[in-house]
Amino acid sequence: MQPDTRAKAMTTSRITLFAAATLVAIGALIGSAQVFPASAGGLDWLDNDGYVRCLQYVSGLAHGDVAAFDRGRRACNRQYFPNKPGVQY
């Protein structure tokens, strides 16, 4: 018996189509990464040890209460970033 050439051609075309789709997807992923870089915002506050300790303390006191943590975060902002424009108090 001879192998079915139609089935072999169909398998080859599926592999080719899959490879082409993979190349297009990888190209789109790389292209979008260069056009739209991820931004986590300013992380300069991590260098302020006192502010980070204040946030940790407030987080410990809040025990998962979002409103209590927000009040404490605002107090930390007022203490460590006084009169700084753009900081939400």
pLDDT of res. 7? 63
Angle at 37 between CA 32 and CA 39, to 5 degrees: 145
What are the C-alpha distances in Å from 72 to residues 54, 60, 67? Answer: 8, 10, 9
pLDDT in tens, 53-87: 999 999 999 988 999 999 999 999 888 887 777 66
CB-based contact 51:76 (threshold 8 Å): yes
Q: Tell me which residue has tokens 């899959």.
A: 18
Q: What is the pTM of this model?
A: 0.48
pLDDT in tens, 7-44: 666 688 888 888 889 988 888 877 766 555 555 567 77
Look at residue 66 in the predicted model and tell me its pLDDT.
Answer: 92
* Residues contacting residue 46 through CB under 8 Å, at least 6 positions apart: 52
